[in-house]
Amino acid sequence: MKLLAGVQAGTARILSATVGHEQGRWFVSFQAEVKRDLQRVARPHVAVGTGLGVKTLAVMADSTGEIRTVTNPQHYDTALKRLRRASRVVSRRQGPDRQTGQKPSRRWEKANAQRNKIHHRVANLREDALHKLTTSVAAEYGTVVVEDLNAAGMLRNRRLARRIADAGFGEIRRRLTYKTRPRRATRMIAADRWYPSSKTCSKCGAVNAKPPLHVRTYECDACGLVIDRDDNAALNLAALATACMTGTGVAGDQGTAPAVSKPCGADQKTRATRTRRTTSAGRAGGATPPRQRQTETRDRTHAEVLTLR
């Protein structure tokens, strides 16, 4: 309806349309050119640090000290019992065989369609939850800080791969990227992959040893702070936004380092010499190329270059 209203008002133009069929439903995807204004956020001067996890999908701590958590809905684990039952039914039917060219039976096609329907529903629920989460974050805060997680490397952990894939860490960052910059006047900061958000104390800034994953409470050896591990990491990410803008904060002074001018070239003249090409006895055709002269090229001074010009 929004696209129809935009076309009627003259602020949108449909470029193309693609018709698709998926799981018994027909879909039409429109490629349109829409003229829209930047949407203002609710709290433009507040920065939020978003930490992602498996048990808790997102822990959001803003620059005012408020901490909010979003539980992981775990759509795949919820539907896992039905998926196993549906997969057992499919395995008992006569399926296709590529080696013998055997075609699947009607009962196998019906059971496989029921299993695919469960997979499709789980994917839709996950997409809806991620859209609601990213839209709410992008519409409220003026600066969003996320972690640069190695999602592909985290999937190699066979104990957590299923839950990490179900959470969709990479998809959350991708949607925040296009929902903050083009649509709203919101800054998005990606923390470095090796930034010690879990090891740094959010109160005094001391960097302690990284605790193992099963330890969910952070204890600072310097100031004695005891806080939840995810909350501490989210507070450090929020402080990182302040440090990037003002150069102060618990996350470190990033704007106080002295500016060092980079050299434009070498300190002295250099001599480039072309080395000789030596040929081995096993060359194709048995021919030996003639020796090439060594040439020396010296750098001309700035005055000589101006004279030549």
State the pLDDT at residue 269.
45
**Are 149 and 207 contained in the same domain?**
yes
One domain for residues 41 and 31: no
Burial track 221-236 (b if 16+ CB lie within 10 A, e otherwise)? eeeeeebebbbbbbbb
Residue 22 shares a structural domain with residue 88 = no
* Whether residue 78 is found in the same domain as residue 195: yes
Looking at the structure, tell me whether residues 49 and 196 fall in a common domain.
yes
- 76 and 28 in a common domain: no
| 62 shares a domain with 27 | no
The number of folded domains in the chain is 2
Q: Quick check: is 304 in a domain? A: no
pLDDT < 70: residue spans in the chain: 245-309
What's residue 118's pLDDT? 94
pLDDT at 120: 93
Last residue of a domain, one of 231, 246, 261: 246
Cα 278 from Cα 112, distance rounded (Å): 66
Side-chain-side CA neighbours of residue 167 (13 Å) = 23
Q: What is the pTM of this model?
A: 0.71
Task: Give residue 14's domain range.
Answer: 1-36
Confidence at residue 87, expressed as pLDDT on a 0 to 100 scale: 95
Q: pLDDT of 156-206, one tens digit each?
A: 888 889 999 999 998 999 999 988 877 787 888 888 888 888 888 888 888
pLDDT of residue 273: 52
